Amino acid sequence: MTDMEAAIKTVVTTFISSSKGKDNLDKKGFQKLVSKQLGGIMEDTNSSSAVEELKRGLDENNDGKVSFQEYLSLIGYVANSLSQSKCGTNADAS
């Protein structure tokens, strides 16, 4: 398996394990995923209000949960900010 294939697989398996096999991440599962897996790349991942705010932004159908599709928006957002920080000069802007 290539690095990229492994990375995609990780994205999928992380969702499945955080949602315990369900179709959606509930509030708790989402907070855990973000704080455990994305703390090195995102700010405020230990702030439950910041993570709640993030979840609300992702929750397109407003059901209070994060579907796989909505989770992929987060991955896209993180990937995008990563690529901008690599290309830009604000590598460590706060």
List interacting residues with Ca ion (CB under 5 A): 59, 61, 63, 65, 67
Beta bridge partner(s), residue 66: 25
Q: How far is the CB of 43 from Ca ion (least distance, A)?
A: 23
Nearest Cα to Cα of residue 18 among 9, 5, 8, 31: 31
Q: How far is the CB of 82 from Ca ion (least distance, A)?
A: 24
Alpha-carbon distances, residue 41 vs 22, 23, 58, 65, 83 (angstroms): 26, 25, 17, 22, 12
CB of 43 or CB of 60, closer to Ca ion: 60
Q: How far is the CB of 7 from Ca ion (least distance, A)?
A: 24
Q: Say how far apart CA 64 and CA 57 lie, in whole Å.
A: 10
CB of 26 or CB of 44, closer to Ca ion: 26
CB of 19 or CB of 45, closer to Ca ion: 19
